[in-house]
Structure 1
Amino acid sequence: MQSSRQKNGAIKIVTPEDRSRVIAILTTAFTMCPLLRWLYPEPERYLRHFGGFLDYYAGDPYTDRSGAYFEREDRGALLWLTDKAHRDDARMMSFLLGSVPENRRTETERLFEELGKYHPKKPHWYFTMLGIDPMHQRSGWGGLLYQYGLAILDEAKGLAFTEATSASSARLYERLGWRIVGEVQLGSSPPVFPMLRHPS
């Protein structure tokens, strides 16, 4: 983990004071995410609901100190839930069904129910969001930020789960030790790839 800090000099664990910066980074980063833009296809709907989606999907990394971001230039952010944290999936689903277009509610509910079947039954870490500002994408920052988070995971010797929302992000995760365990695609939704990473 120290080498990552030395190389970029600016990765910082998130705190409550960083909340608005991290939300801004991730809102910008996910404008082209196949899953997020399927959920919120119109720009106005996306901007209105993304912050709420983040709250329900990613929990509270700011008080849990379960996230990191590039403090310099706000290049990107990574959020996770530790094996001690638990997301309220019922509240998340209620939010989703009230915010996605009406004609996507049934598919949205079925999609997330199917994804839930891939979550490990035993305690695990859940890497929820990795986003890089489009101005800095394809420059290696995503891998560097993920290596920082995975160093924390490996120190804890934890089992981890994530969902890649594109084939390209799945390939990045595979290079970092993740394994695809399925592919979920329902109706008009894009494919989503559940992935596991076992302790090294």
Structure 2
Amino acid sequence: MTVQITKSVRKATDADVPHLAGTLAASFYTDPVMSWCYPDDARRAEILPHNFRSVIEATLSLGGIDTVTDAVGAAVWIPPGTELDEERLADQIGRTSREYAERVFTLLALMDEHHPKDKEHQYLWLLGTRPEWQSQGIGSALMRPVLEACDRDGMPAYLEATSARNRDLYLRHGFEITEVLSLSEGPPLWCMWRSPRRSPEHS
């Protein structure tokens, strides 16, 4: 069953939105950075599905969300040359986060401050798999189509890893750590950049 799912990467559709919101919420529930943003376990479980639904709805039309069979995993890319309505999304997340809005905005401001703006790139904003499907190759499969396109097109990619486990996954796929960010009394975020790989015929 794992083989079937990892080979069935596809573009997300409107019908996937509620499923993907649940998938990302489950994937990031124990994430160190999300736990810093929402230190109360019950509130984090309540807030995350709403926030991720807002993110998915805001980015779906950009064409950068890949998923798999049964929507048990998702990769949310922001393609170069696309525009996200950041003000509207921040307002939605702030209203949902309520008492934790200041923490979330601190995180988003830190990420924006250090996001590379001088070179066009694919931005992997989110990558998540439901806990029961983790460590079965789904995350790698979800990244593969865009990374292969990056190699063909000479396009770099960028992301922020929010856990050591994810950091190590990205290192295996050619990303390199460029900077480590620190939240106040919180966990690190690893800024990671991937230069396009040259194909053998162009080596």
Please state which band the TM-score falls in when normalised by the shorter chain.
Answer: 0.7 to 0.9
CA distance in 2, matches of 1:56, 1:18: 13
Aligned length: 194
CA distance in 1, matches of 2:150, 2:50: 26
Runs of 4+ that moved beyond 6 A: none
Pick the aligned partner of 2:168 from 160, 171, 176: 171
Give the residue type in structure 2 aligned to 1:12.
R
Q: Which residue of 2 aligns with 1:150?
A: 147
Q: 1:96 to 1:61 in 2, by over 3 A?
A: closer
Within a 5 Å distance, the mapping from 1:33-182 to structure 2 comes to: 33-54=31-52, 57=55, 60-71=58-69, 73-100=70-97, 102=99, 105=102, 108-121=104-117, 122-182=119-179
Give the residue type in structure 1 aligned to 2:108.
F
Shift of 1:54: 2.5
Instruction: Give percent identity, aligned residues only.
Output: 25
Flag structure 2 segments of 5+ consecutive residues without an equivalent.
Answer: 198-203
Q: Are 2:12 and 1:27 equivalent residues in the alignment?
A: no
CA distance in 1, matches of 2:7, 2:29: 27
CA distance in 2, matches of 1:93, 1:182: 25
The 8 Å contact of residues 17 and 57 in structure 2, kept in 1 or not, is answered as: no
Shift of 1:101: 6.7
Shift of 1:193: 0.8
3-state SS of paired residue (2:76): strand
3-state SS of paired residue (1:41): coil
Give the residue type in structure 2 aligned to 1:115.
M
Q: Which residue of 1 aligns with 2:183?
A: 186
Q: Which residue of 1 aligns with 2:11?
A: 13
The 8 Å contact of residues 68 and 78 in structure 1, kept in 2 or not, is answered as: yes
3-state SS of paired residue (2:159): strand
Q: 1:147 to 1:41 in 2, by over 3 A?
A: same
CA distance in 1, matches of 2:106, 2:29: 23
CA distance in 2, matches of 1:185, 1:155: 34
Flag structure 1 segments of 5+ consecutive residues without an equivalent.
Answer: none
Q: 1:58 to 1:184 in 2, by over 3 A?
A: farther
